[in-house]
Structure 1
Amino acid sequence: MKAVQITGFGTPDVLLVNEVDRPAPGAGDVLVAVEASSVNGHDTLVRSGGLRMVSGRRFPIGFGLDFAGVVAAVGADVRGHRVGDRVWGTVHPREKHAVAGAAEYVVVPADRVAAAPAGISSIEAASLVVAGATALIGLRDTVRLAAGERVLVRGAAGGVGTAAVQLAHAMGGHVTALARDRHAAALRDLGADEVFDYGTTTSDRIGPFDVIFDTVGSELNCYRSRLTRTGRMVTIGLSGPAFAAIAASSVHGSRRIRAFSANPDAAVLRDLAGYVASGAVRPVVDSVYPLADIVVAHQGFERGGVLGKHVVAVAG
């Protein structure tokens, strides 16, 4: 079968579509025939070597944090999944995988997959797995957004940002989106009450906010100053300066900046599927690439400026 792997760290050009043996599920595992995967920031960090502590230096390393497809086989002791079920899920982000989601087949523990939402394609489902779960964990579980609170989503046009706008709206928040001006109409359609152009809007011109959901990782202290007295801020844009801002903010009680691990289990994926089924969250796909164009998909992701997700079509 075909699987995306690297044999060394570097730019998108190091990504290879290799022929490898099809994996077999062990006890408690599910084998999924993958139909689609997406490109995530985690993937680019692993590829560049920024997560050597996780991936290690033993090659090959497989790619694709998330996937959507059909159950092809189940191991012993698996309950709740049957051959032919449509599912979505993730590989474990803190483990090294020789074969991951960007492959024709992937094996994962049964508790890392859940029934995919009905009524959407695998391409659309793949666009939401990590992005939607990250937004849900951040807003619901980390900052505990309450109805009526004012929410700022920075980087609102990206995959996680578009999911966060929709979920914050569904949870009853008053949503302000910060993104490129050309995406304003689309973000309002997704549930944003206000949209500001990040290129011309400085932090002192907006707010205050009860919750800030940040996907960018820069100017965190400037935006933290726009929190209310009981405000909460969370970021997924982790970098050296971001870690410094997080550490410095730890003395400010509830106004500190939090980071979190988006490592969704089946329960989170089921909850996310419920939002999709209700119509509160819908997929936002910017571009679709065949598996053979995985290099181009990563190049597009790194250029930025998109609305939604870059998705890789593995089958079909």
Structure 2
Amino acid sequence: MKAFVLRSYGSPDALELTEIDKPVPGDGEVLVRVRATSVQPYDWHLMRGEPYIARLMAGGPGLRKPKITILGADIAGQVEAVGRGVTEFRPGDEVFAMPKQGGFAEYVCVRESELAPKPKNLSFEQAAAVPLAAGTALLGLRDEGRIQAGQRVLVHGASGGVGTFAVQIAKAFGAEVTGVCSTRNVELVRSIGADEVIDYTVEDFTRKGQRYDLLLDNAGSRPGSACRRALTPKGTYVVVGGPGGRWLQPIPHVLAALAVSPFTSRRTATADVVRCTENKQNLITLTGFIEDGRITPVIDRRYPFEEIPEAVRYQEQGRAAGKVVITI
């Protein structure tokens, strides 16, 4: 099969299109013919081996060279074959998943426990946009943020991959949602259901005087102390990402936010879907929202398989409104 292989850390040019053996599904695994995948910060962080401190950690990307050689955390496709013990799927089934690696290839093996039927009303490209970004938004709002109907929720960084899902998921839970984004994305964020949109080039939401029950921070461009100022006395601040250099990004921002949490009535939490152990159930929950029309993936650009390096290069700029997807 064809795959983009990462043999050493570097720029998107380090992704080498080559022929490798098609994987064989083991016990409890499903071989999926990948029809679409998506690109996200998780991929280019692994590609560059950043933050550097992660290379020193157990389970990290590898000290001198990458442990994960085929990137692509999200997939949508069709079942090609099943391993021993697989009972839920059979060849031809349309599925999607977040295997965390292997999507930048024509085929990938996925554990049955991580695989879910593709939403019936989505194309493969739309379905591939869902797992990691929407799963992160769901984890941040429901699990860490403990969202409740009627709450006032602010999504900082509302026009990105996680943000566009977060606005829609918060609305699905019955919240009143404010999105923060740049001027060029105001209409987009309003179109996906935000009750109010704040243009950060014009207003600073931390000084606006409004108070929110839950703040989901995808951007990390404002200090945690300022974000907590925008919360109600019992509000919750959920950190998804943040700025930083090659060595620590975004660890200082996250740690700074968590450090003061014990000394205030406002809760602080972090959301990292990669550590979530209920990916399949989350996909099933998201499918319910998608099939009843409450969530629609926002796609910024589509690229053919051969242009994956260019897709990664574009996504790395941090200006994508919604998701960047690849058709295979």
TM-score, with normalisation over the residues of structure 1?
0.93
Within a 5 Å distance, the mapping from 1:33-182 to structure 2 comes to: 33-50=33-50, 51-52=54-55, 53=57, 54-56=60-62, 57-58=65-66, 61-92=69-100, 100-182=102-184
1:210 to 199, 210, 213: 213
Aligned match of 1:267 = 281
Give the counterpart letter for 1:195 in structure 2: V
Could you tell me which runs of 5 or more consecutive residues in structure 2 were left unpaired when the two chains were aligned.
Answer: 243-249
- Structure-2 separation of matches of 1:140 and 1:58: 33
SS of residue matched to 2:236: strand
Give the counterpart letter for 2:235 in structure 1: G
Contact 1:6/1:59 (8 A) holds in 2:
no
Give the counterpart letter for 1:232 in structure 2: T
Q: CA deviation at 1:165?
A: 0.3
Q: CA deviation at 1:29?
A: 0.4
Once structures 1 and 2 are overlaid, which stretch shifts more, 154-163 or 128-137?
A: 128-137
Contact 1:156/1:162 (8 A) holds in 2:
yes
SS of residue matched to 1:144: coil
Contact 2:31/2:108 (8 A) holds in 1:
yes
Q: CA deviation at 1:200?
A: 2.3
Deviations 1:120-171 (CA, angstroms, capped at 9, x unpaired): 1000111112111111111111111001111110110011100000011111
Contact 1:168/1:175 (8 A) holds in 2:
yes
Contact 2:32/2:77 (8 A) holds in 1:
yes
CA RMSD of aligned residues (A): 1.6
SS of residue matched to 1:55: coil
Once structures 1 and 2 are overlaid, which stretch shifts more, 155-164 or 229-238?
A: 229-238
SS of residue matched to 1:222: helix
Deviations 1:233-273 (CA, angstroms, capped at 9, x unpaired): 11211413313322322323552321122035211101110
Give the counterpart letter for 1:208 in structure 2: R
CA 1:298/1:58 → structure 2, altered by over 3 Å: closer, same or farther?
A: closer
TM-score, with normalisation over the residues of structure 2?
0.90
1:224 to 225, 228, 232: 228
The number of residues matched between the two structures is: 308
CA 1:206/1:78 → structure 2, altered by over 3 Å: closer, same or farther?
A: farther
SS of residue matched to 1:61: coil
Aligned match of 2:298 = 284
Task: Say whether 1:297 aligns with 2:318.
Answer: no
Contact 2:135/2:279 (8 A) holds in 1:
no
Contact 1:8/1:59 (8 A) holds in 2:
no
- Residue identity over aligned pairs, in percent, reads 39
SS of residue matched to 1:9: coil
Give the counterpart letter for 1:242 in structure 2: H
Contact 2:6/2:15 (8 A) holds in 1:
yes
- Structure-2 separation of matches of 1:181 and 1:55: 36
Could you tell me which runs of 5 or more consecutive residues in structure 1 were left unpaired when the two chains were aligned.
Answer: none
- Structure-2 separation of matches of 1:261 and 1:60: 19
